Amino acid sequence: MPSRKSDFFIAFLVICSIFLLLMTVHAAFSVRHAMQNIQAKARMVRELHLTDLCLFTDARYTRHPSMADLHTAFQDHPMSFEHFPSGTVVAPPPHIYHYGLDQ
């Protein structure tokens, strides 16, 4: 029976390490279990020619960020500020910068 505080701490660390290991095992099993479902979704993306994830549905440039252009942020007025909360979360796609303002 551990009686010193350090023994308890070592026991705590061992238990935590076991939990960490269990966490990685749980993650590995979850990924394996989810793969079938992910493949079904991937099939849907292929068949429906989808380009984006459905994460934010409030603005079109956050619903389909990869299809957005550099002007979408100013869609209402050239000096208008960002309107939708999700617009602060979703950054513009990197390819917009690559091809410049016209694209």
Partner 1 sequence: MDFAFNSLLRRKGKNSALFVVYAGIIFLVSSIVFSSESIKRESRILLENSPEIVVQRTIAGRHDLIPEQYIEQLKSIRGVQEAKGRLWGYYFEPGVQANYTLVVPDEFLYGPGYIVIGNGVSKTFLAGKGDLLPFKTSDGSYASLEVADILSPDSEIVASDLVLLSESDFREMTGMQKGFYTDMILKVRNIKELPTITDKIRRILPDTRPITREEIMRTYEAIFDWRGGILLAVISGAAFAFMIFAWDKATGLSSEEKKEIGILKGIGWDTSDVLFMKTWEGLIISLSAFFLGVFFAYIHIYFTSALLFMPVLKGWSVLYPEFRLVPFLDMFQIATIYFLTVAPYTVATIIPSWRAATIDPDSVMRL
- The answer to the question of residue 24 lying near partner 1 (CB under 8 A) is yes
Instruction: Name residues contacting partner 1, limited to 29-88 (CB under 8 A).
Output: 30-31, 34, 37-38, 40-58, 60, 62-67, 69-71, 75, 84-86, 88
- The answer to the question of residue 14 lying near partner 1 (CB under 8 A) is no
The dihedral region occupied by 97, where left means phi > 0, alpha psi between -120 and 50, and beta the remainder, is alpha
What distance in Å separates the CA atoms of residue 32 and residue 102, rounded to the nearest whole number?
Answer: 44
- The answer to the question of residue 26 lying near partner 1 (CB under 8 A) is yes
Cα distances from 63 to residues 25, 37, 84, 86, in angstroms, run 34, 22, 11, 9
Asked whether 56 and 31 are in contact (CB, 8 A), the reply is no
- Which spans of this chain sit near partner 1 (rule: CB under 8 A)? 4-6, 9, 12-13, 16, 19-20, 23-24, 26-27, 30-31, 34, 37-38, 40-58, 60, 62-67, 69-71, 75, 84-86, 88-91, 93-95, 99, 102-103
